[in-house]
Amino acid sequence: KLRAGDAHDVSDWCEFSASGTVYSEPGYRLVYASDDDVELAPFPSLEVDGVIPVESAEAKEHHTKAPARYVAATLIKELEERGIGRPSTYESIIRKLKDRFVFSKPGSTALIPTVTGLATYQLLQRSFLPLVNYDFTSNLEDQLDAIVDDIDKSAEILQDFYFGTDPTNGLQTLVSDADTTVNPRDLPALDLGPHPESGHHIYVRPGRMYKKRFSPYLECGGNTIGIADETCFEDLTLEEAVRLLNTGGPRTVGEIDGVPVFVKVTSTGAYFQHGEKGNLPDGHTKPRTAPLLKSMNPTTVNLNDAVTMFTLPREVGVYEKTGEVIVAHIGRYGAYIKAGEDTRSLKSQDEAFTIDALAATALLDTPKKPRLTRKKSAKKTYKKRKKS
């Protein structure tokens, strides 16, 4: 505490504010006042340029909480308030976001940006700002409604969007400028700070696309190591990044039957590996592998997560129509069930662990939807719009 008369002059390094409440007119309180009313703290008597003696000062720590992350429901509410999208489009918006740009931790519905999502946001903010503001998106919704009412307006609206109402804001100009001026090296997703030993900054970069997935990595000087796209930046501290760069290889999470289990991150994704050359699981001629779920973070998964994933493929039951065993599994394109050569996709990866024989049988009994080629699909969409 600092008191008046101390050697330190508090006014040199602190700003103070004073608050109080005074009712100039009692109003309704004249009628409804009671003995339970709390006595008001009077506002101090102050004058311009006046000097206020400091009797005591005490520092109190205060942490400002970050705003809560969006979940699907709060994001849709925000879109509604800004006039973006329609009730019929909200599901597809959330689904497309989850495909590449956001993910959720196990047991949580909060939407967390992926490395790809953050890098994409930074690129759009830098080079496509006229097209990524709320007013533009809201106005575009009105223009699309206008096309529904009058299909002849579509050519005019598309021309304005592509060429711009002036030479600087059309999509053609923005893409051309970005192509010539943007250097991907200047757009890391995140700068974690300097390495404590080398002094080189550690960058998180989105990497290149491989089989419709990006392959993010850490870079420090000439040293790089892959990380998962579904990496939570709160977990990727400078200390964790240094550890990953120093180890430079797979992380050991434990052992199963005396054989080590590793987590490996490659350009095709992250996966568990049970065993290695010279030390394989019993009955196996090569290491067992299992992919990580989208909700799993390679830097925080543990042995229990690996044991869970190694339970796949899981036998669900028997498909009575054919007598074949129904198996649930997770592949490159998502979770699915299989009975012989017949397969059906599951809505989420978690269903591979929870679906029972009854639900699997009902799914297999449902005929597959025929796949439309791109050309046929586009033709059908055009006819619908023309009709409306």
Residue 204 near residue 192, CB atoms below 8 Å: yes
Sign of the torsion formed by the C-alpha atoms of 86, 87, 92 and 95: positive
Which pLDDT does position 211 carry in this prediction? 56
Q: Is 214 exposed, middle or buried (0-12, 13-18, 19+ CB in 10 A)?
A: buried
**The whole model's pTM is what?**
0.57
- Over residues 20-79, the pLDDT tens digits come to 777 778 777 777 766 556 666 667 677 777 777 777 777 788 778 878 899 999 999 999
Rounded to an integer, what is the distance from CA 48 to the centroid of its chain? 51
349-369 pLDDT, tens digit per residue, is: 999 999 999 999 999 999 987
Q: Which burial class, exposed, middle or buried, applies to 95 when counting CB atoms under 10 A from its CB (0-12, 13-18, 19+)?
A: exposed
Q: Which residues of the chain fall short of a pLDDT of 70?
A: 1-16, 33-42, 44, 209-213, 248-249, 266-269, 371-388
3-class DSSP assignment, residue 306: helix
Q: pLDDT (tens digit, 9 = 90+) per residue, 13-35?
A: 566 677 777 777 877 777 776 65
Distance CA 306, CA 283 (A): 19
Integer Cα distance of 73 and 240 in angstroms? 33
At 186 the three-state DSSP class reads helix
357: left (phi over 0), alpha (psi -120 to 50) or beta: alpha
Beta bridge partners of 329: 336
Buried b (16+ CB within 10 A) or exposed e, 125-155: eebbeeeeeeeeeeeeeeeeeebeeeeeeee
